[in-house]
Amino acid sequence: MGRGPGRPTSASVVATDETTDLDGARSPAGEVHAWVPGTNQTVCGLALSRERLLRFSHVPWAEVQPATGTHADAVTSLCPRCAAGMGARRGEKRWKRVDPRP
């Protein structure tokens, strides 16, 4: 019995909209999803053609993160299921107890 494909280690971006800079370079805008090139769906399972998502194979998933990404200016939201599928919470503690009860 083989195991299915694991979590993707790198992904590109698909988005609901796009912007262009003064040089004519395209950047993702709107809601963005993680996409593994060569597949027809996002990491969270949305079909690219059915959802009419635009492909940005030149933009890696790490570049649209709000904290550090260079292409994150026009991004309004990240898909939380794609972020979880790409390991956004791996190694992070999700909550912190500030004032515990006695």
Q: What is the pLDDT of residue 99?
A: 66
Please state the pTM of the whole predicted model.
0.77
Provide CB contacts within 8 A for 85, sequence distance 6+.
7, 8, 34, 43, 44
d(CA 37, CA 63): 16
Mean pLDDT per 10-residue segment, the chain (102 residues): 58 94 90 93 93 93 83 88 79 56 62
Q: What is the pLDDT of residue 7?
A: 66
Q: What is the pLDDT of residue 18?
A: 94
